[in-house]
Chains A and B, each alone.
Chain A
Amino acid sequence: MKIICLVKFTPDVDQFQYDYEKNILIRENVKLVINPDDACALGFALGLKKKTPEVVIEAVTMGPLNVTAMMADILRRKVDLATILSDRQYVGSDTYATSRIIGKYLETADYDVILTGSHSRDGDTAQIPGQLAEYLKLNQISQIRKIDQPSMLNKRALVEVDSEKYLETYEIPLPAILSVGRESNYRLPFVRYDDLDLDVSDRLRIIDNDSLAVDSKKIGLKGSPTKVIKSYPIDYQKKEQVIVKNDDQGIDMVMAFLEKEGYL
């Protein structure tokens, strides 16, 4: 069985920078971390592989080349293959353009199932899995809490989904896109101490647009239908603190505050 896991590296939100003039995110030089939901999906795949060694896992990401070291780390966690779709022309792609780029790669790739996270931490848009599913004409489902391992191997996956009000179980014929949520608690194993410097270069591929050949009008900033035209940084003002007594006046103050901030 061949599993493709889509992963995205998101900037450590606490230190992100933004190019306010060009209105694009500067992804270079910011510490990147693997998107938590994606880590769960990979964690599930690696768990399955541990039990069923013939499972082959390929991790696919689209992004700038500074994710290479992190993709190498993913290989050191026992993933078999890593593919980075990277090209200068891809910079600034919105989710639509991104889905087309990844979709173009997946069209020709070999897989039985595609695993992704449900949400990404930076944009929290949850769009790529759905858009890709449409592009590849596959079933897709988000917020998966649990995937039944044997059913996966039988190509009819049983998945448990947390849809706000309900817990639901679905049967989905493979291939399909299964999007795992953080609540699944599938844990991505860390690189073991002895593997920290393992050479994985022979299992890591970088594919640019010369070989992928997505129509250059459909990628990057100009190929993206949605454009960020403006950003509004949220200013963090220093709090003015008030100290009141526990009397009627104090309660009045608290009530006024709760009222003003919409808690009542």
Chain B
Amino acid sequence: MTKEIVLEGLKKLLTNEQINVDADDLYDATADRYKKYAKAKKVLDNPSPCAIVYPKNSSEVSDLLMFCNQNQVNVIPRSGKTATEGGLENWKELAVVIDGKNLNEIVNIDTYNMQATIQAGVALQDLEDELRKVGYTTGHSPQSKPVAQYGGLVATRSIGQLSTLYGGIEDMVVGLECVFPNGHISRIKNVPRRAGGPDIRHIAIGNEGTLCYITEVTIKIFKHFPENNKFYGYLIKDIDTGIKVLREVFTNSYRPSVARAYSEEDARQHFYHFHKDKCVLIFMAEGPQAIVEATGAGIEEAVEKFQEGIIEQVDSSLIEDWFNHLNWSQQDIDDEVEEMINNDSHSGYTTEISADWATVSQIYDNVIKRIRSEFRFADDLTMLGGHSSHSYLNGTNMYFVYQYTINCEPEDEFRMYHHPLQTIIVEETLKLGGSMCHHHGIGKYRNQWTRQEHGSAYYMLETLKEAFDPKGIMSYGNIYYQEDAAKYQQ
């Protein structure tokens, strides 16, 4: 099999407009944001895919997958391209990117049954804009909202900034359609709940392109009451105080939509105009008036209880204003590329983990200590901190954020900085029983630890791969460790 034969094969399945072999676009499809710096500097050394294809419906997706499966061609499903963990990076000589650009129809908005059906290539922002016109919201608000699309959002098990009220994507998906490597199309029907065996939605949700191609999704929608929003902000003594207040609020069954605690360093990035070098705790209460009032009271009560750690309350309009400036647009993403090319710097990286209430602060401290003492280029760090932004009844997440002066060639950047830093974070988290990936997915650079993450349950994960993708053509290297590709990780 050669690239030429792959292209010949694709031409039999699709029209010419549906096949893109533009050199720049193929380069762009070679990696994602994990290697954003090397990519911007045009020094990527992993192979580019042979083509990017744009199927128009699930039956075309089915044909494409069958063709690739028969010919052992790697398939990389693609949506909004905001992947951060190498999910879109290619490690195979023969690879095709299946992009959801033409699967862009909002199929149905059903306000009576409170659900909407969209094809996988619909941008979250577009659906949100449609819903807002009629007084509804998706409730899903990742920072990549203006760019990310439903296929990717579901495939990565994404979560939004309002998750503590609306949930993560897994709480929103009602049913979906997906296509397997053998060409089989499965539709999971939309029902309120069922006890019909294991919940098979979860085979598609979070599969990161390793088991199936998601073509359509039906999600819940919510009534929107933006006029009732109330904001709360506090400067606090330390991040642990923040975590304690968060726990108090959630274990008392309140559900503010935003609930976050920032370390001093991370607070500076967001709140330089008022944080006074302190940690910051913020909340937003959302929903019907009475719920907002009650939630607000719950927040104030929790803050009161941990008063000794609270330094002062912040003008709530500052928090509201911050909230309205949070998301990254495509322009922001392009601008960072510009920054990398011209200024040899970037906006840093992040690694997100989760753990129960009892251990999360410990993990945070261990990570920071170990990075400071052990990371070889700790001197180059210009910022190291984190925040908790998604809380649950039994615990919360920690979103580590780090920036550094890049004192190396672009080719070496990920292995000198991001990867060793991420390694420390993952190891410290697993050591204390947390999860190494809260919402970005495993991608390609945390697959070394997938076995450890899942322990004896890895058997189930492994068996899914064997069953649905026996030839291993789907997103080679995502989630599952691949010995042969280790060279790309070192």
Binding site for B on A (CB under 8 A): 31, 189-193
Q: Is there contact, CB below 8 Å, between B412 and A193?
A: yes
Interface of B is mostly: helix
A-B contact sample (13 more), CB < 8 A, given A31-B379, A191-B408: A190-B407, A190-B408, A190-B409, A190-B412, A192-B408, A192-B409, A192-B411, A192-B412, A193-B408, A193-B411, A193-B412, A193-B415, A193-B416
By a CB distance below 8 angstroms, the chain A residues around B379 are 31
Binding site for A on B (CB under 8 A): 379, 407-409, 411-412, 415-416
- Considering only CB atoms, which chain A residue lies closest to B406 in the complex? A190
A31 to B382, CA, bound (A): 14
By a CB distance below 8 angstroms, the chain A residues around B407 are 190
Nearest Cβ in chain B — how far from A73, in angstroms? 10
By a CB distance below 8 angstroms, the chain B residues around A192 are 408-409, 411-412
Counting chain A CB atoms within 10 Å of each CB, which of B379, B407, B412 scores highest? B412
A94 to B58, CA, bound (A): 77
A192 to B411, CA, bound (A): 9
- Considering only CB atoms, which chain B residue lies closest to A194 in the complex? B412
Interface of A is mostly: loop
Nearest Cβ in chain B — how far from A180, in angstroms? 19
Nearest Cβ in chain A — how far from B178, in angstroms? 40
By a CB distance below 8 angstroms, the chain A residues around B412 are 190, 192-193
By a CB distance below 8 angstroms, the chain B residues around A193 are 408, 411-412, 415-416
A31 to B377, CA, bound (A): 13
- Considering only CB atoms, which chain A residue lies closest to B414 in the complex? A193
By a CB distance below 8 angstroms, the chain A residues around B409 are 189-190, 192
A192 to B415, CA, bound (A): 11
A193 to B408, CA, bound (A): 8
Could you list some 16 contacts between A and B, CB below 8 A?
A31-B379, A189-B409, A190-B407, A190-B408, A190-B409, A190-B412, A191-B408, A192-B408, A192-B409, A192-B411, A192-B412, A193-B408, A193-B411, A193-B412, A193-B415, A193-B416
- Considering only CB atoms, which chain A residue lies closest to B408 in the complex? A190
- Considering only CB atoms, which chain A residue lies closest to B376 in the complex? A196
By a CB distance below 8 angstroms, the chain B residues around A189 are 409
A31 to B379, CA, bound (A): 9
A190 to B417, CA, bound (A): 14
- Considering only CB atoms, which chain B residue lies closest to A73 in the complex? B407
A225 to B367, CA, bound (A): 52
4 tightest Cβ-Cβ pairs between the two chains A and B: A193-B412, A190-B408, A190-B409, A193-B415
